[in-house]
Structure formats: C-alpha cells, structure tokens
Amino acid sequence: MRYVSTRGGVEPMTFSQAVMMGLATDGGLLLPERIPVSAPAVLRQWSGLTFQQLAVEVMALFMTPGDPVAGRLEELVIRSFATFTHPEVTPVTPVGEHWLLELFHGPTLAFKDVALQLLGNLFEALLADHGGQMNILGATSGDTGSAAIHGVRGKKGIRIFILHPHGRVSPIQERQMTTVLDSNVHNIAIRGSFDDGQRIVKELFNDLAFKETYRLGAVNSINWARILAQIVYYFYAWARTADGNTERKAAFSVPTGNFGDIFAGYMAMRMGLPVDRLVLATNCNDILVRFMETGVYRAGTVQPSLSPSMDIQISSNFERFLYYLLGEDAEAVRERMTRLQQEGLFAIGEEKRREAAAIFTARRVSEEATLHRIHATWMAHGILLDPHTAVGVEAAREFPGMICLATAHPAKFGMAVERAIGMPPAMPPALEGLLSLPARCRVVAPETEAVRKCIRESAG
Ligand SMILES: *Cc1c(COP(=O)(O)O)cnc(C)c1O
C-alpha cells in the first residue's frame, strides 16, 4: 500500500513515510493509493474480535508487510490502548432509542486519545529505527494539546512543545497539560490569544532552516495515522450492535469540527462496512452544513460555543473527502484549494453536491438545543452527555437506532453541563485531584522569538 497526496505533488510513499511526513510537502493531505475492501465474510469474522484484535486487522490492510512498523503492529496496538480505563476501549451502550459509542476512556477523556495514543507509539518506533530525534510543536485552545502531550509523554526521541493562551483555557484543560512532568514535555503559556499561538507556530514552521535543524513535527488532525486509528471504532461499534448480521446497516451521528472523525466513518463505509447514513452534526460554526446545502465552501468567522472543540472556520480534513468527490483528480482539488486561499470560497456543481449530500446528512444544532438535549437525556435516561456529544445526539433525533459518537466525558465540560441540568457533573478519578497536583509551565510574551528561545534551550 502506497500513499499519495490529494494535490498530486509528491512521489508515492510507504505508510511509515506518510506518518512521518504528516502534511504532504505539496500542501495536500496524504491518502492510500486505493481503499482496501473487506468482504461480508471477513466482516462477520471481525465481529467476534476484541477492539485490539480488530485494530490490528484493519491497520494491517493499510501497510505492506515490509513496512517498518508492520511486524510490530500488535505490540504497538496493545501498548497504545493499555492506557484506556475501559476493558473494551470504546464500549457501546444504549441510550433510549440510540446507542452511544463511548470514545472518552483514554487519559484525557476525549476521543482524540484514540488516535494520539497510537501516533505517539508510531513516532517512537519509527524514530528508534534511525536513532532519530524529533521536536513536536503545536498550539492548542485546549483539547488537542493535552491529548498530544499524553500521547508522547516519556517517549524516546520525542520532545513536545505545546503553546496555550495563558489563563484562557479551562482550569481542567490547563492542568491536564501542565501536570505532566515528564522531562520531554514542555508547556508554554503565551500571554496572548490562541491566534497568537497559531501564528507563532506557523512562523516557526515557515522558517525552513529552523524546522530542519530542530526536526519540527506536527500532530494536528491531518496525520493519516489519526484517521486510521479512528476507522477501527466504526467497525467495532457496528459489530457490537449488528450481532454479526452483515445485512444489518449501521448509521452514525458524528459531532464534527475538522472533519477527521467523520472522514474515518466515510473510509469505513468505502471499505465495505454496511453504513446507510452518516449524520454530520455541527454547532453554530456550520461551514460544512452550508456546503452540503449549497455546494459552496465558504469560510466564516469562528463563533465561540458550548462545544469549543468544534469551533472551526476551515475543516482541514475536508480536502480528503473532496479528493474522492472530485473523482481522485488532484488537479481539480488543487484548483479548489487555491481558490479557497485567494478568494475565501470555492464551489462544486449541483451534481457533486447531491452526491455528497447522499452520503452525509448535515445538521446544525443551536446552543439552546444542545443544552436541552443534555437536560432531556439526563431526565429520561440518567445519562450525562458532554456538549459535543449532545450536538450529535440532537442531530440524530429524527433517526432511531443511530450510533452516536460520544467524543468527550461530561466532566471535561462541567460548566455547560451545569448550565443544562443545574448541577455540576461528578468528577471521574482521572480529573479528581488534578487541581492540586504540582505543575510545570513557562509563561512567555506572545512573540515568535520567545518561543524559539524556549525550543533552543530545551532541545539544544
Ligand atoms: C476534536 C473534537 C471533535 C471534532 O472532531 P473532528 O475530527 O475535528 O471533526 C468533537 N468533539 C470533541 C470532544 C473533540 O475534541
């Protein structure tokens, strides 16, 4: 299996090379050259497997036997999901006439752990092969930073530098980052905004000499390995709810921001998983809903919401779907992305729009409806939803039997939950005591040179 760019400008590469490259060097995203399809008999066989066994089967399809990590896949998978507190890793539980696919049993209690626990181990294994070192650099508004830090803490050959806006992330989010005291973890609080952090990171990545010298790497949702890890739980959830009946179709509702999670569902479908609907649920930041309705992809301004991990303007993974929608025509993708950059929008024809809308049922969910869904689910079933999950459950309301992806633990977003039900959620053991643990963090001015200095000193 080889990997190509959505913009057609890189030589085909192996799985391991794609993981190390992250963003393709031509600015595009990496995808497998072809999508492996599994027959119904294979699906039936898979439905008896544990999450870890299934992960090995699914991931092996995306690499060649000679790939540097292919022979160690089982060991890597076992290590990656050993940090989850539920024996099933991603259990499926009933809630009224729907199912909840619980993706929040990892170390930071959000679904990003599923992918980032694996990615950390993949990086470590690949670096060990070359005796290499890498420095991961990223800016976060909360969730991704903590999941990335927990993914690489204590890993050989990797240092991580995560920028967050000083005093502007929730106390829990801040503590989930700054109480990780492993010597390879560097938290940097910027006296500024999330945008300042992003700008600084971008400037350092654009300094090619610096990037080269310090072997800067990224962990954002464009890495192919993150999508791959997420494909697994679509198969797993189907198996848990269909009882091995390959005639039985599943439908998923996915709280969406950067389009990574729902794109994994699309890939599972293309691989032969019987799926009859993917509900694309957004909050008021609805660029994807507007695209499905009008065929025009137009960036707006980000509005803060109760579900902050879905507050995005541009969905970075959408380019992967666009590539398939445009018939794997890299030239056509490049043309659309150039237009987006220059004019702030692009359009596809009505025929293509319909094709997309036949796969994704897009729904925008208001803040009021989100709060109402948390309250109603609590009253009716005694189950607490976090605001992101509530967006997906609300969007699935008209379709009984859906599998709703539960992307975060409610205690992580306690303020929204308290607004909805009048009391704060109970603290799980992973969060209890977090506020009194020792923490380490440097506070610096919102300037590129200040961050560069931190990296130089620590990575020297
Ligand atoms: C990141 C995130 C999402 C959105 O996932 P995408 O892959 O960006 O679409 C939803 N819920 C939570 C809790 C998240 O952290």
Of 85, 83, 39, 32, the closest CA to residue 59 belongs to 32
Element (H, E) at 415: helix 414-421
Going by pLDDT thresholds of 50, 70 and 90, the confidence category of residue 247 is confident
Residue 148: alpha-carbon gap to chain centroid: 11
Residue from 100, 112, 170, 321 to probe ligand 1 pocket by mutation (most atoms less than 8 Å from CB):
112
Query: Quick one: pLDDT at residue 217?
Result: 87
Decide if 222 contacts 316 (C-beta within 8 A).
Answer: yes
Catalytic residue status for 202? no
Going by pLDDT thresholds of 50, 70 and 90, the confidence category of residue 134 is very high
Query: Quick one: pLDDT at residue 193?
Result: 86
Hey, what's the torsion of the CAs at 79, 81, 83, 85, to 10 degrees? -150
User: What tokens were used for 16?
Assistant: 């391991």
Query: Quick one: pLDDT at residue 457?
Result: 94
Give, to the nearest 10 degrees, the angle between helix 112-130 and helix 143-152.
40
Mean pLDDT over 156-170 rounds to: 93
pLDDT digits (tens, 9 = 90+) for 387-412: 999 999 999 999 999 999 999 999 99
Query: Quick one: pLDDT at residue 26?
Result: 92
- Report which protein residue has its CA nearest ligand 1's atom 14: 309
Ligand 1, atom nearest to 255 Cα: 10
Q: Exposed, middle or buried by CB within 10 Å (0-12, 13-18, 19+), for 136?
A: buried
Ligand 1, atom nearest to 104 Cα: 13
Q: Could you tell me which residues come within 8 angstroms of residue 379 by beta carbon, excluding any fewer than 6 positions away? A: none
**Residue 309 CB less than 6 A away from ligand 1:** yes
The whole-angstrom separation of Cα 330 and Cα 323 is 7
**Residue 6 CB less than 6 A away from ligand 1:** no
Of 152, 148, 162, the closest CA to residue 198 belongs to 162
Query: Quick one: pLDDT at residue 313?
Result: 81
Query: Quick one: pLDDT at residue 221?
Result: 67
- Report which protein residue has its CA nearest ligand 1's atom 1: 309
**Residue 113 CB less than 6 A away from ligand 1:** no
Dist. CA 206 → ligand 1 center (Å): 27
Dist. CA 392 → ligand 1 center (Å): 11
The whole-angstrom separation of Cα 163 and Cα 442 is 10
Of 443, 455, 447, the closest CA to residue 167 belongs to 443
pLDDT at 460 over 70: no
Half-sphere exposure of residue 97: CA atoms within 13 angstroms, side-chain side: 7
pLDDT at 413 over 70: yes
The catalytically annotated residue of 112, 156, 211, 249 is 112
The whole-angstrom separation of Cα 334 and Cα 348 is 13
Mean pLDDT over 44-58 rounds to: 96
- Residue whose pair of structure tokens reads 């990892």 in the numeric block: 106
DSSP 75-129: HHHHHHHTT-SSTTSS-EEEETTEEEEE---STTSBTHHHHHHHHHHHHHHHHHH
Query: Quick one: pLDDT at residue 8?
Result: 97
Q: Where are the domains of the chain?
A: 92-108+225-425
Q: Going by DSSP bridges, is the β-strand pair 250-255/345-347 parallel, antiparallel, or unpaired? A: unpaired
Dist. CA 409 → ligand 1 center (Å): 12
Query: Quick one: pLDDT at residue 145?
Result: 93
**Residue 221 CB less than 6 A away from ligand 1:** yes
Query: Quick one: pLDDT at residue 353?
Result: 98
**Residue 255 CB less than 6 A away from ligand 1:** yes
Query: Quick one: pLDDT at residue 10?
Result: 95
**Residue 110 CB less than 6 A away from ligand 1:** yes
pLDDT at 135 over 90: yes
DSSP helix/strand/coil, 321: helix
pLDDT at 314 over 90: no
The whole-angstrom separation of Cα 378 and Cα 368 is 15
Dist. CA 29 → ligand 1 center (Å): 19
Query: Quick one: pLDDT at residue 219?
Result: 77
Share of the chain above pLDDT 70, in %: 99
Dist. CA 94 → ligand 1 center (Å): 22
CA geometry: angle 62, 65, 70, nearest 5 deg = 70
Of 430, 432, 431, 413, the closest CA to residue 421 belongs to 413
* H helices present in 260-349, as ranges: 260-270, 287-294, 318-325, 330-343
pLDDT at 273 over 90: yes
CA geometry: angle 320, 398, 301, nearest 5 deg = 45
Dist. CA 221 → ligand 1 center (Å): 10
Most confidently predicted of 140-144, 307-311, 353-357: 353-357
**Residue 408 CB less than 6 A away from ligand 1:** yes
DSSP 374-394: HHHHHHHHS----HHHHHHHH
CA geometry: angle 254, 255, 258, nearest 5 deg = 105
Least confident of 44-48, 221-225, 319-323: 221-225
Find the distance separating the first CA and the last CA of the chain, reported in whole Å: 37
Decide if 30 contacts 5 (C-beta within 8 A).
Answer: yes
The whole-angstrom separation of Cα 285 and Cα 307 is 10
Going by pLDDT thresholds of 50, 70 and 90, the confidence category of residue 321 is very high
pLDDT digits (tens, 9 = 90+) for 75-132: 999 999 999 999 999 999 999 999 999 999 999 999 999 999 999 999 999 999 877 8
Q: How far is CA 439 from CA 182, 339, 413, 427, 442, in A?
A: 11, 45, 21, 20, 10
Q: Is the pTM of this model over 0.75?
A: yes
**Residue 259 CB less than 6 A away from ligand 1:** yes
Q: Which CATH class is domain 92-108+225-425?
A: alpha beta
Least confident of 1-15, 62-76, 167-181, 210-224: 210-224
The whole-angstrom separation of Cα 297 and Cα 356 is 13
Give, to the nearest 10 degrees, the angle between helix 318-325 and helix 330-343.
130
Dist. CA 212 → ligand 1 center (Å): 30
How many C-beta atoms surround the C-beta of residue 130 within 10 A? 10
